[in-house]
Structure 1
């Protein structure tokens, strides 16, 4: 199967100031497009040519793993945002967060720590295990919680290309601003 560049469900400037139109243009239109194109080249004529992104990520290594992982990660990332979103989740997801961390604010603090203490490039994820229990993971480079048998729910890209044009080295400030564009309905639908 040929993997396609995920379409943004909003305009390029819709996530400002958390993610600028310039950052989104480069991040989606250049970085992600490059991962998708390279992935398609790497799987052509292989046993993984018809596999899902999750299957490829769980059954590959090296360049194939990196490009499949980054494609999966960014597909989840770009579709979890909406203009004028934010707030907190509700229902089962909020109950699971409160069960694990005591409060939504405590979860946010631990998630911020995961984002800011990941050395180098990678991702921080809120993920669920098979029992629905939540965990925060730090994944280097293009890895994804699926490699640990977890279901990714919410991911924050902490590669510099995700924030550097607007935030320079202020990763924590970017992560704090991203809370205002999280579409918790999308995240909860993954739970």
Structure 2
């Protein structure tokens, strides 16, 4: 697939999301209450400029990824909810209750949640986790380097589209998990490895193809340069509570 074909597909995917612009930009994804929101859901604003993550993630990819792909998930989720048992639930409740048979809600609800998290854990400058989180990582994986290797392997070996995650399990330990498509570890009725995501990496081709083409490992390596560890820490503390 060349760049022109990719842009065409991306445009088609997002076109439906622009039909009804009402509420596309509302509550920021950085707001802790994203999981408490109920339909109609809205597209959160990016907490930085499209080009803020250059050169690790390019401006055009961010524009297409956020304004078209994520917007399409939000629009399609809102279209799928009326008349279902999920219509009055929060996003967190939807994630916990959705089943394999509810394909539209599973795919689009997952897409909305996953991307809302993804935008917030990205930031310019990289950095390192705090002492508390670093200690938890070392306890779970042996060292930061071993954690990175395990996370990278999960992202590299996820067949086709999907996500790699760092999660907090019920016993408050950390684990690395991977899910296909737009599934996530909150979907207790679907996935085997469940927990609260505090770090996630989108390995769908639309997240990296314009800059990295088929070189997913290069994209994964660049990801470590733009992690907002303060946000990851905030999510870690919230998960412990």
TM-score of the two chains, using structure 1 as the length reference: 0.96
Answering whether residue 120 of structure 2 is matched by residue 82 of structure 1, we say no
Separation of aligned partners in 2, 1:110 and 1:87: 19
**Residue 131 of structure 2 is aligned with which of 70, 73, 91?**
91
Answering whether residue 140 of structure 2 is matched by residue 71 of structure 1, we say no
> Equivalent residue for 2:198?
153
Of stretches 158-167 and 39-48 in structure 1, the one that deviates more from structure 2 is: 39-48
Q: Tell me, which stretches of 5 or more residues in structure 2 are unaligned? A: 1-38, 189-193, 237-241
> Equivalent residue for 2:213?
168
Separation of aligned partners in 2, 1:105 and 1:20: 26
Aligned counterparts, 1:1-191, within 5 A: 1-60=39-98, 61-84=102-125, 86-148=126-188, 149-191=194-236
Aligned residues: 190
Preserved contact between residue 53 and residue 69 of structure 1 (Cα < 8 Å)? no
RMSD: 1.1
Separation of aligned partners in 1, 2:93 and 2:107: 13
Q: 1:95-127, CA deviations, whole angstroms, 9 ceiling, x for partnerless residues?
A: 110001111111011111000001010000000
Separation of aligned partners in 2, 1:44 and 1:11: 34
TM-score of the two chains, using structure 2 as the length reference: 0.76
Q: Which has the higher contact order (CA 8 A, sep 6+)?
A: 1
Q: Tell me, which stretches of 5 or more residues in structure 1 are unaligned? A: none
